[in-house]
Structure formats: C-alpha cells, structure tokens
Amino acid sequence: MKSSQVSQGEVGKVASLSRIDLVTEELCRYTRQLCDILAYMRQVKKIAGQSSAIDTVTPHHDLVNIFRSDSVASSGISHEALLANAPRRQEDFIEVSRVLEGKNG
C-alpha cells in the first residue's frame, strides 16, 4: 500500500500545473497542511470503518430527482453586442489567450 504522505515535489508539480507560483516557504507550508489533511482523513476512515452506526449509502432526504431541465434561455444580449464588448475578436468568436501548452504550443 502506497503511503499517503505527499512530497514537496508533488505539491510543486500540482502548483505548476495549476499555474501557481509558490516560494519555498509556501511549498513547505502547503505540503505540511496537505499531509495533515490526509492524516485526518485516515482517522475519519478508521473511525467510520469501526462504526456500524454510520450509514453512508442511504440518502437522508426524500428528494428523488433534483436536476433542473436543460433548456436554453436568452440572455437578452445580441451576438454583436457581446462581441463588441470582447477584448479580442476573431471573426464571429471571442479570442482568448492560450491556457494549455501542447506539442504545437
């Protein structure tokens, strides 16, 4: 079974993928906090495994279907008015900066 401790390298990698720049002090603090959270979750899991009084499967409400219908609603703004307020535009589309890097980027 793999240890649930998290290394600073793993926290740094996730921060990098999230485009968050962390200084060394933040990296240490967030690694320590994440390890503390995982240790707490291990305690909760252990307690939940020992108690038959905790029913995690049965919902505790009478709601059957809480989803709304998937329907298109008009915003009242025309397509041209929306594009007129866009910072950059390419033909009939709003142009945005590239977020993900790939083979071509």
At 103, is the pLDDT very low, low, confident or very high (cuts 50, 70, 90)? low
Q: What is the pLDDT of residue 1?
A: 35
- The answer to whether residue 63 is domain-embedded is no
| Helix locations, 1-105, DSSP H | 8-17, 24-50, 79-84
- The answer to whether residue 16 is domain-embedded is yes
At 14, is the pLDDT very low, low, confident or very high (cuts 50, 70, 90)? very high
Q: How far apart are CA 50 and CA 42, in angstroms?
A: 12
Q: Which residues contact 30 (CB under 8 A, 6 or more apart)?
A: 11, 15, 22
- The answer to whether residue 105 is domain-embedded is no
Query: Residue 5 belongs to what domain range?
Result: 1-54
- The answer to whether residue 13 is domain-embedded is yes
Q: What is the pLDDT of residue 64?
A: 74
- The answer to whether residue 85 is domain-embedded is no
Query: Quick check: 12 pLDDT over 80?
Result: yes
- The answer to whether residue 50 is domain-embedded is yes
- The answer to whether residue 12 is domain-embedded is yes
81-100 per-position pLDDT tens digit: 989 989 999 999 999 888 87
61-83 per-position pLDDT tens digit: 777 777 888 888 888 888 889 89
Q: What is the pTM of this model?
A: 0.48
How many domains, in total, are found in the chain?
1
Q: Of 37-41, 45-49, 52-56, 69-73, which gets the smallest average pLDDT? A: 52-56
- The answer to whether residue 44 is domain-embedded is yes
- Residue 25: which CATH number? 1.10.20
